[in-house]
Chains A and B, each alone.
Chain A
Amino acid sequence: QKEVEQDPGPLSVPEGAIVSLNCTYSNSAFQYFMWYRQYSRKGPELLMYTYSSGNKEDGRFTAQVDKSSKYISLFIRDSQPSDSATYLCAMSAASGTYKYIFGTGTRLKVLA
């Protein structure tokens, strides 16, 4: 079993839809949870950085962490064609080397 599981998609939605992207994990030591957006042939861009459980909102993006279920989500409201990209979740423990473990990424396509 992989430490971090993420559905690779692709996920196609119409413009304006609410998008839900998810990751599950198995390591209960993970305390930091990140979401990155990666456009084709570009480096990953940090969208959200959260610690422990709860919600965090930034503009059209909301990150949710449920540590009891080992499940994290990223919601995108009013999705735009410019949101079409691969979304990567990443996690790390709160001690040691703080090594990031990434999911495989979910490819999202927002149709105009």
Chain B
Amino acid sequence: EAGVAQSPRYKIIEKRQSVAFWCNPISGHATLYWYQQILGQGPKLLIQFQNNGVVDDSQLPKDRFSAERLKGVDSTLKIQPAKLEDSAVYLCASSLVEGNEQYFGPGTRLTVT
């Protein structure tokens, strides 16, 4: 069974630029999560989708971050404009349904200069 796929793996941008990350969850997984992991910290949930609907986006900085999962499968997370403090690893995870085990992708390491 293929795991969670993410791209790109690394991205370097200047502040005020925009960036987008892509995630393809494990086949058949209805729930998809985006996390932000700052160096030395645990992952922090940004947004959770159930199929193509948003379940929780309470910690998403909505003035600059947006995410979509239009067809209930893959998802994109966008930052516009980026700030220095957005430098982090952006992790995507998926689970069969809410409350089940979450499986993570390899992450995208973002550096904002």
Residues of chain A having any CB pair with chain B under 8 Å: 4, 6, 8, 32, 34, 36, 41-46, 49, 88, 90, 92, 94, 97-100, 102-105
Instruction: List chain A residues, Cβ under 8 A from B56.
Output: 97, 99
- Pick the contact of A100: B4, B45, B55 (CB < 8 A): B45
Which 7 A-B pairs rank lowest in CB-CB distance, beginning with the nearest? A102-B42, A43-B104, A98-B99, A97-B56, A43-B106, A44-B104, A49-B101
The residues in B between 6 and 65 inclusive whose CB is less than 8 angstroms from any CB of A are 33, 40-45, 48, 55-56
Cβ contacts A to B, 8 pairs, < 8 Å: A32-B99, A45-B104, A46-B101, A46-B103, A97-B48, A97-B56, A99-B48, A102-B44
The chain A residue with its CB closest to the CB of B45 is A99
Q: How many A-B residue pairs have CB under 8 A?
A: 53
Q: How far is the CB of B106 from chain A (nearest CB, A)?
A: 5
Instruction: List chain A residues, Cβ under 8 A from B42.
Output: 4, 6, 88, 90, 102-105
The chain B residue with its CB closest to the CB of A43 is B104
- Pick the contact of B40: A32, A49, A104 (CB < 8 A): A104
Q: How far is the CB of A49 from chain B (nearest CB, A)?
A: 5
Give 19 new A-B contacts, CB below 8 A, not counting A42-B106, A99-B48: A4-B42, A8-B40, A34-B102, A43-B4, A43-B105, A45-B104, A46-B101, A46-B102, A46-B104, A97-B48, A97-B56, A97-B98, A99-B45, A99-B56, A100-B33, A100-B45, A100-B102, A102-B42, A102-B44
Most buried by B among A43, A100, A103: A43
The chain A residue with its CB closest to the CB of B107 is A43
Most buried by B among A41, A97, A103: A97
Most buried by A among B42, B91, B101, B102: B42
Instruction: List chain A residues, Cβ under 8 A from B55.
Output: 97
Q: How far is the CB of A33 from chain B (nearest CB, A)?
A: 12
A44 to B43, CA, bound (A): 9
Instruction: List chain A residues, Cβ under 8 A from B83.
Output: none
0 or 1 for each of B81-113: is its CB under 8 Å from A? (1 = yes): 000000000010000001101111111010000
